[in-house]
Copies of this chain bind each other. A is one copy, B any other.
Amino acid sequence: FSATITEASQCAISGLPFVRNISELPQDNHGRGGLSHITIAGSALHGMKEVEVWLQTFAPGSRTPIHRHSCEEVFVVLKGTGTLYLASSSHVKYPGTPQEFSIFPNSTFHIPVNDAHQIVNSNEREDLQMLAVISRPPVKVFIYDDWFVPHTAAKLKFPYWDEQCLQSPQKDEL
């Protein structure tokens, strides 16, 4: 019963102030070492239907999984440096060796729909902090164990931050 309350409160749309202080928003690593994720404006949390905005911080050495999604994604790097790996190969069997790009403070880039990508904080000393914007929330992510896994074998997941709201049973009447 208490678990139900906790879940409900993490997924609630109502009762939030209209103008929210980002530094007071819930922050979680969702079981991933080195990641801090804040949903600034989200589908499950705030009722967004067309865009979602996140603030993500990666500790030195931490990274996203190799993944793809069928929505647009825009990044704005606020702090730190890192590497973007991008495989523009949704038309062939598997991602293959990705292109590499340096990312830096005040840089921006967007991920083409369905291109496999990974972002790594390759800086040993500094956090990498980024705003991420996606279309068509909630995002469904297909995860690859490596760059040579066939697209058809990538594993479907809701991201960690949506899992609890989207996959938990609907609220219990008791």
Asked if A76 is at the interface (CB within 8 A of a chain B CB), the reply is yes
**Across-interface contacts of A23 in B (CB, < 8 A):** 106
Q: How far is the CA of A124 from the CA of B19 in the complex (A)?
A: 21
- Of the listed stretches A4-12, A40-48, A148-156, chain B binds A40-48
Q: A74-B41, A76-B40, A110-B41 are in contact. Are A133 and B51 (CB under 8 A)?
A: yes
Range of interface residues on chain A?
20 to 34
> Using an 8 Å CB-CB cutoff, how does the interface string of A101-122 with B read, 1 for contact, 0 for none?
1111011111000000000000
* A41 engages B106 (CB within 8 Å): no
Q: How far is the CA of A148 from the CA of B160 in the complex (A)?
A: 45
Q: How far is the CA of A110 from the CA of B13 in the complex (A)?
A: 13
**Across-interface contacts of A108 in B (CB, < 8 A):** 19-20, 22, 40-41, 53
* B21 engages A133 (CB within 8 Å): no
* B19 engages A107 (CB within 8 Å): yes
* B76 engages A53 (CB within 8 Å): yes
Query: Closest residue of chain B to A106, judged by CB?
Result: B22
Q: How far is the CA of A48 from the CA of B103 in the complex (A)?
A: 20
Q: How far is the CA of A72 from the CA of B133 in the complex (A)?
A: 13
Query: Closest residue of chain B to A24, judged by CB?
Result: B106
**Across-interface contacts of A49 in B (CB, < 8 A):** 72
Query: Closest residue of chain B to A48, judged by CB?
Result: B72
**Across-interface contacts of A136 in B (CB, < 8 A):** 50
Q: How far is the CA of A136 from the CA of B131 in the complex (A)?
A: 19
Say which residue of B21, B74, B86, B104 sits within 8 Å of A48 (CB atoms): B74
Say which residue of B22, B50, B131 sits within 8 Å of A72 (CB atoms): B50
How near does chain B come to A91, taking the closest CB pair, in angstroms? 17
- Chosen A-B contacts, 29 in total, with CB atoms closer than 8 Å, are A19-B84, A19-B103, A19-B104, A19-B107, A19-B109, A20-B107, A20-B108, A21-B104, A21-B107, A22-B107, A22-B108, A40-B74, A41-B74, A41-B110, A41-B133, A48-B72, A48-B74, A48-B110, A49-B72, A50-B71, A50-B72, A50-B135, A50-B136, A51-B51, A51-B74, A51-B133, A53-B74, A74-B133, A135-B135
